Structure 1
Amino acid sequence: MTVLRSVLLFALAALAEIGGAWLVWQGWREHRGVLWIAAGVLALGAYGFVATFQPDPHFGRILAAYGGVFVAGSLAWGVVVDKFRPDRWDLIGAGLCLLGVAVIMYAPRG
């Protein structure tokens, strides 16, 4: 149950951070306005809180592992929202990142 909870928290954190950054991007670069930017800032703040609910007590480990989730999640966001088509190298890289997440977070420790 702890691993499932952790994975769900990583997914929620990715949604908040990637979505927040996308909203800021849309507000500024696509000239959609300050409300988009404000929503992005709130989502980015929510990401910071979501990360605190991870069961592992070590900030550095959580943030390092989240980096791999962010890589894969960013590509997935691009596919769904921006119709981006990752190539095989994008997919291999994302897979390696997720493998790194699994090692960092879920390897047996004594």
Structure 2
Amino acid sequence: MTILAYVVAAIAEIAGCFAFWHVVRSGGSPLWLLPGVASLVLFAWALTLVEASVAGRAFAAYGGVYIIASLVWMWAAEGMRPDRWDITGGVICLAGAAIILFMPRALAH
């Protein structure tokens, strides 16, 4: 469930942010903001589905997923293929996210 929640969150966040980018930076119609806001609401809801003991850990691990999703977006939607440094950085961030979320830890608060 956690991986699916992160995938939904990443798609929703990128779509929502792109809607704002399109309006502000590309001169798109302000109507783009309506699905953009709805998408950002979906993003926030999806993060609540992540199986983590505290919100901050779920958000921190999401950062790695977001980086990979952003690179995929850059390639698929913007036509800019990630270079070896993009890929290397993304893999490192995803590894960090996995460590944050999945490594065993004490239950202390």
Return the TM-score normalized by structure 2.
Answer: 0.91
Distance 1:44 1:57 in 2: 23
Deviation at residue 94 of structure 1 after TM alignment: 0.1
Residue 66 of structure 1 aligns with which residue? Answer: 62
Residue 33 of structure 2 aligns with which residue? Answer: 37
Q: Which runs of 5+ in 2 are unaligned?
A: none
Distance 2:82 2:49 in 1: 31
Distance 1:91 1:83 in 2: 16
Instruction: Report the more deviating stretch, 10-19 or 54-63.
Output: 54-63
- Counting matched residue pairs gives 106
Distance 2:16 2:63 in 1: 16
Q: Is 1:93 matched with 2:92?
A: no
**Per-residue CA distance 1:1-43 (angstroms, 9 max, x = gap):** xxxx111110000000011101111122222211112211111
Deviation at residue 57 of structure 1 after TM alignment: 2.9
Distance 1:34 1:42 in 2: 14
Q: Which runs of 5+ in 1 are unaligned?
A: none
SS of residue in 2 equivalent to 1:82 = coil
Instruction: Report the more deviating stretch, 49-58 or 95-104.
Output: 49-58
Residue 46 of structure 1 aligns with which residue? Answer: 42
Task: State the identity %.
Answer: 38
Return the TM-score normalized by structure 1.
Answer: 0.90
- Give the root-mean-square deviation of aligned CA atoms: 1.1
